[in-house]
Structure 1
Amino acid sequence: MRYLSVTTLAAIAVGVALTAAAQKAPPPPKLEPVPEPPPPPAEIANDPELEPQITIVRRDNETIEEYRVSGRLTMVKVTPRHGRPYYLVADGADGTFIRRDSLDTGLRVPLWVLFSF
């Protein structure tokens, strides 16, 4: 009981001392207003060359969608009448294509948590 009253008395004394010190603090210096921020840049116009151009060719047994960017063929989607669609994706600048059954590359980045604070 004695330690409790001493601790309480010490806490009250520290609180009174901090309050008195805060009241005697000098006022803050005169602050200058912050200048106005510059206006945001104008919105970039959509460049039609950067948008993919899609050409759809329908045949009796399949539908072919060609995707071109800047006039270069980048991907072909082939949808057969019976079966699942597949993709031919440009491998590089040499004009070769790789067949894929989906656009998912299969890359799985580990999301391990090593440290947490």
Structure 2
Amino acid sequence: MSRLLAVLVLLLITYTANVAAKDAQPIIVPEPPELPSQIVSGENMKPDLTITRKKKETITEYSVNGNVYMVKISPEGAPAYYLVDTDGDGDLETRRTALENGMNIPQWLLLSW
């Protein structure tokens, strides 16, 4: 008897759910707004170069937006080496003898304030 009662209750719940779904008003979704026009970036992506010549060396500073990110030092009679700011804090903490040395992980600046 309890099984029959459980089946009847389940059928009653299912029936009322179907009736309620038929009486419900459809949801009206508004049209999406038009896309804005494409934004053209005014940012200069080419690095600015500052070359300083001294008696026995040439120093080349590479900067973007006024921030120095790499310095190339070319001593006279010796191979050139680079000082690189790898984390963007303004300190040139990494010294390299070549720029294509192994695998370099891209470190793009996404947000700054």
If the length of structure 1 is used for normalisation, what is the TM-score?
A: 0.49
Which residue matches 2:55? 60
Cα distance in 2 for residues equivalent to 1:48 and 1:63: 28
Cα distance in 2 for residues equivalent to 1:60 and 1:48: 35
In the TM superposition, what is the alpha-carbon distance from 1:48 to its structure 2 partner? 6.1
Secondary structure of the residue aligned to 2:69 is strand
Secondary structure of the residue aligned to 2:103 is coil
Which residue matches 1:27? none
Pairwise mapping of residues 17-32 of structure 1 onto structure 2 (< 5 A)? none
Unaligned regions of 5+ residues in structure 1, if any? 1-43, 109-117
Which residue matches 2:75? 80
Sequence identity, in percent? 39
Unaligned regions of 5+ residues in structure 2, if any? 1-39, 105-113
In the TM superposition, what is the alpha-carbon distance from 1:105 to its structure 2 partner? 3.0
Cα distance in 2 for residues equivalent to 1:67 and 1:100: 15
Provide Cα deviations, 1:28-84, integer angstroms capped at 9, x if missing partner.
xxxxxxxxxxxxxxxx68x46222100000000100000001111011000001100
Which residue matches 2:86? 91
Cα distance in 2 for residues equivalent to 1:67 and 1:88: 10
CA RMSD of aligned residues (A): 2.4
Say if 2:51 and 2:61, in contact at 8 Å, map to a contact too: yes
Which residue matches 1:107? 103
Q: Please state if 1:51 is matched with 2:50.
A: no
Amino acid at match of 2:49: I
Which residue matches 1:38? none
Give the number of equivalent residue pairs.
66
User: Pick from 66, 74, 84: which aligns with 1:71?
Assistant: 66
Say if 2:73 and 2:80, in contact at 8 Å, map to a contact too: yes
